[in-house]
Chain A
């Protein structure tokens, strides 16, 4: 290592692996993984989200899993919560849909209304 730029580059690279330990803003993706979710393939959806987040090098996105979200008929489901607490619930997900959601919703900040089950804001 010879320059401060090299150091900063290495820092940013290493930080990618550690963002989840420090960023508390940005999007949070919760994939419903109750029995119903797992049965309808939520694991593949979860992995698709992770893959997309990595491909697009999104820094402040947290992908996590939650229990049954209640509307089992619409599984696999995912809830996307933005920094302000606004939540968007997507249902009946497929892997191509996940790709679109990541690109349109999380990168361009345009929720895809036709896939939405509901949106609400937690106080």
Chain B
């Protein structure tokens, strides 16, 4: 029987970890109990993007959007919505402006401003069913390419589309394909770089989990264009769901003859295998990735020769990032001119960003290039929680830099972000508010790159370690003004002398925080004070005269260091205080700050 209602349950990593699998099971049981199993479709999809509200369920045909669904809510949904047709109001998302509930998914501001190309099928189809992908014009681009276009036409179309590598480099994809095509060899390889390692970035994971077939299709198109018959997907073993769905997708595609020998009855054959990475950040660099597939230790090699000339097993190889590939089928379905019509002149298309940190709508968003950062943070991201003040965005993960309030109206594209001293990177966006200490943030990222440096070249291996030591010193309260200069000197040197992208960009978070927040560094080394109250050695919480005596701080203090009568100004006993910051978070009027110790002594 035809299904009258379809329930789409988010099967992305975020929602899976908050029990979406158990929810699906509960739905199955409940539907059998109610005897309406046949008329209701139950589908586990890829990521919907709004991970903050997970687990997310969307019920079609009305597009009802339920958030934070618990297993115990399933019975109510089944009995009320599915059986009687009465949507469950208290599971819907609140509309902050109208004080009503938002009934439809498309009415959510989070989705209204997005333009989904790479994520077009995520949260829309069942990733384990090739037919659903085909229903969405899947593999039609491959069929068209194989039967109607020559290899050169494919490359011309790619160049015309202006698609740039979405993994961070921003190199024109069409040109990259052309290099690989021009290299003479009987064996060539296509590699999909799914070694996503930036802290806070998870768009590649969402695409692999939610729409694995789009990657397979794009790789086959690439193989046809450059003359390759073998593709590898290099994905980290830490993404078990992605690996499982990819394997399933490859098998299905082979079953339907969409991969394998003589695809669409042409002379073109293409096969794809998965190679698991052990999760080293440096293996996201293409030459290190190739070494890792070959079975060696993942270390970058010098370029040139570029992989397009001498790559995997010394054969010409084309390496593309997951998100880049996800755009490819759309270019051939709708044409390069369609793709060019989105975004800006220099950077056409869209970009997926992973919003994280101090923001209301944590999750994945895909916006056209040229949208301002303010729109992403405030309109789509929903602003900063708990009425805190925005401080900075870190884009590009450990390779990028921070962007401050004054640059929030910048239009997002590759060149503009680079001009600000940050970079597009893979698209992680960590939003920070007044409670984040920028020195500590820089230290966090540097700690990551020190761990992940492969150790091949000295500037990166030793230089970043030295920088981290200095930052640790500053955070502990033993820094001097000379240390800041030394950080800048070392940073510039590491950038200039490192071999690969990891070292060349590792000092960026430090350099850009020094550039934009020098006053915080100076407060750390001169005043011995951490204004945000994060570095515990440099924190002295003080209650100011605007205290309203609400007693919230005293009640939240875990060590009872705060005393004072209601409606009177409270005081903190510095000997007892453990600098946890609970009082600062609890204060409704912002009367608690971290201040210079001297001032406190004079009181």
Query: Which stretch of A63-71, A75-83, A93-101 is in the interface?
Result: A63-71
Contact of B61 among A2, A10, A20, A67 (CB under 8 A): A20
Among B3-11, B161-169, B205-213, B364-372, the stretch in contact with A: B3-11
Contact code string B111-133 (vs A, CB < 8 Å = 1, else 0):
00000000000001100000110
Give the residue of A2, A13, A64 whose beta carbon is less than 8 angstroms from that of B4: A64
Given the known A-B contacts A17-B41, A33-B85, are A10 and B265 also in contact in the complex, defined by CB atoms under 8 Å? no
How distant is the Cα of A7 from the Cα of B139 in the complex, in angstroms? 8
Contact of B265 with A7 in the complex, beta carbons under 8 Å: no
- Is B134 a contact of A46 with CB atoms below 8 Å? no
Are A8 and B39 CB-contacts (below 8 A) given A21-B60, A21-B124?
no
* CB pair B85 A3 closer than 8 Å: no
Q: Are the CB atoms of A10 and B60 closer together than 8 Å?
A: no
Instruction: Give the number of chain A interface residues (Cβ < 8 Å).
Output: 32
A14 touches B85 (CB 8 A): no
Tell me, yes or no, whether B386 is within 8 Å of chain A by CB: no
Interface string of B493-518 (1 = CB under 8 A from A): 00000000000000000000000000
Residues of B within 8 A of A33 (CB): 84-85
Give chain B residues whose Cβ lies under 8 Å from the Cβ of A20: 3, 6, 60-61
A72 interface contact, C-beta 8 A: no
From B2, B60, B134, B265, A14 is in contact (CB under 8 Å) with B134
At the interface, yes or no: A53 with Cβ under 8 Å from chain B? yes
Complex CA gap A47/B83 in Å reads 12
Nearest residue, chain B, Cβ from A57: B2
Is A62's CB within 8 Å of the partner chain B? yes
Return chain B residues, CB-CB under 8 Å to A64.
Answer: 4-5, 61-62, 85
CB-CB nearest in chain B for A65: B85
> Among the listed A2, A17, A66, which residue makes an inter-chain contact with B265, where contact means beta carbons less than 8 Å apart?
A2
Contact B132 A2 (CB under 8 A): no
A11 vs B139: C-alpha distance when bound (angstroms): 10
Contacts of B84 in A (CB 8 A): 33-34, 38, 65, 67
Assembled-state Cα–Cα distance A47/B144 (Å): 40
Instruction: Kindly state the separation between the CA atoms of A34 and B143 in the bound complex, as whole angstroms.
Output: 49
Contact B2–A53 (Cβ < 8 Å): yes
Q: Nearest chain B CB to A94's CB is how many angstroms away?
A: 19
- CB-defined contacts of A17 to chain B, threshold 8 Å: 3, 41, 135
Which of B2, B3, B125, B258 has a CB less than 8 Å from the CB of A1? Answer: B258
> In the bound complex, how far is the Cα of B258 from the Cα of A3, in angstroms?
10
Considering only CB atoms, which chain A residue lies closest to B148 in the complex?
A4
CB contacts (< 8 Å) of A116 on chain B: these are none
Residues of A within 8 A of B85 (CB): 31, 33, 64-67
The answer to whether A4 and B134 have CB atoms under 8 Å apart is: no
Interface string of A88-113 (1 = CB under 8 A from B): 00000000000000000000000000
Decide if A4 touches B4 in the complex (CB within 8 Å): no
- A2-B265, A3-B265, A64-B61 known; A18 and B140 CB under 8 Å? no
A1 to B147, CA, bound (A): 14
Complex alpha-carbon distance, A47 and B2, angstroms:
9
Which of A7, A28, A38 is most buried by chain B, counting CB atoms within 10 A of its CB? A7
The answer to whether B135 and A8 touch across the interface, beta carbons within 8 angstroms, is no
Most buried by A among B84, B137, B256: B84
Separation of A33 and B143 alpha carbons in the complex (Å): 46
Partner of B1, one of A4, A10, A15, A51: A51
B258 contacts across to A, CB distance below 8 A: 1
B257 contacts partner chain A, Cβ-Cβ < 8 Å:
yes
Scan B38-62; emit 1 where CB is below 8 A from any A CB, else 0: 0101000000000000000000111
A13-52, CB under 8 A of B: which get 1 and which 0?
A: 1110110110000001001011000100000001100110
Measured between beta carbons, the chain A residues less than 8 angstroms from B125 are 18
Instruction: Tell me if B140 and A62 are in contact (CB < 8 A).
Output: no
Contact A62–B2 (Cβ < 8 Å)? no
Contact A11 B61 (CB under 8 A): no
The answer on a CB contact under 8 Å between A10 and B131 is: yes
Is the CB–CB distance between A63 and B4 below 8 Å? yes
Interface check B448, CB cutoff 8 A: no
Taking Cβ atoms with an 8 Å cutoff, the residues of B that contact A are: 1-6, 8, 39, 41, 60-62, 84-86, 124-125, 131-132, 134-140, 143-144, 147, 256-258, 264-265
Residue positions of A touching B, CB distance < 8 A? 1-4, 7-8, 10-11, 13-15, 17-18, 20-21, 28, 31, 33-34, 38, 46-47, 50-51, 53-54, 62-67
- Can you spell out 13 A-B residue pairs with CB atoms less than 8 angstroms apart? A3-B264, A4-B140, A4-B143, A4-B144, A4-B147, A10-B134, A11-B134, A13-B131, A14-B135, A18-B125, A21-B61, A51-B2, A64-B5
- List 7 other contacts, CB 8 Å, given A4-B147, A47-B1, A50-B4: A3-B264, A4-B264, A7-B143, A11-B134, A20-B61, A51-B2, A64-B61
Q: When A and B form their complex, which 9 residue pairs have the shortest distance between CB atoms, in order from nearest?
A: A65-B85, A14-B135, A54-B2, A14-B131, A20-B61, A4-B143, A15-B135, A62-B61, A1-B257
